[in-house]
Chain A
Amino acid sequence: MAKRPPITNRVRELREAHDQMSQSALAKEIGVTRQTVIAIEQGKYSPSLESAFRIARVFGVGLEDVFGWEGD
């Protein structure tokens, strides 16, 4: 398996806390496919800086409230 990126995220937690938003709805908001949202939540893929900011804006939180560095 490819090495996992050293970036953690709380996307799934925030999405479920945001009125149980679906993966499809989040994907549509940030302009990616549902498969990409799944990969982000599973830690298999680190989104681009633009997508990371879009995710944070959807949830109304800061970037560091969504993403973190492994080990921090």
Chain B
Amino acid sequence: MTMNFRIDVTASTCSLLAGLIHIGAYQGWWWTPPSSGTDLFWRLGGSVVLIVIAVIIVATVVRASNADAPERDERETQAGLKAAYNTAMAFSGGVTLLLIYAFTPLSPMLLAHSLIGVICLAELTRLSSLLYYLNRGL
């Protein structure tokens, strides 16, 4: 696998995990629900910072251990494009659902976490698509 691909998958996986942590916190499964929009803002900001750090660590390790890997690979590029199409469909579907419920009494906190859920769905679709296309063929 190319370094770009490994970094890409790391970023998606970390984003998915972060999203699930925030949704779990909102549901009261673990941590505590965010007390305000500002609290959610800082939590999400912290998640972004941690994701960036994780990506930098992975990039450093991969660069050191995989120096011979090519910069790009045609099969990974094709799989990435197909996965991106599926991701766009999942994202569009999720956002459409949110729009349908936009005029029902959704609290801002519920709306924000619903959008996080849509992003998680999109990332899950992307990762599973990549796995499918690379293992089963294009």
Contact = CB atoms under 8 A, between A and B. Distances in A.
Contacts, number: 43
Interface in A13-72: 24, 27-28, 31-33, 35-36, 39, 44-45, 47-48, 51
The dominant DSSP class at the B interface is loop
Interface residues of B, number: 14
Contact of B1 (A4, A33, A47, A51): A33
B43 interface: no
B1 A1 contact: no
Q: What interface size band does chain A fall in?
A: 10 to 19
Contact of B138 (A27, A32, A45): A45
A2 B73 contact: no
Contact of A32 (B73, B134, B137): B73
A47 B73 CA distance: 11
B114 to A, nearest CB: 33
Nearest to B79: A45
A44 B73 CA distance: 15
9 contacts: A1-B136, A28-B70, A32-B70, A33-B1, A33-B76, A35-B1, A35-B73, A35-B75, A44-B137
3 cross-chain pairs, A with B, having the tightest CB-CB distances, nearest first: A44-B137, A2-B137, A36-B75
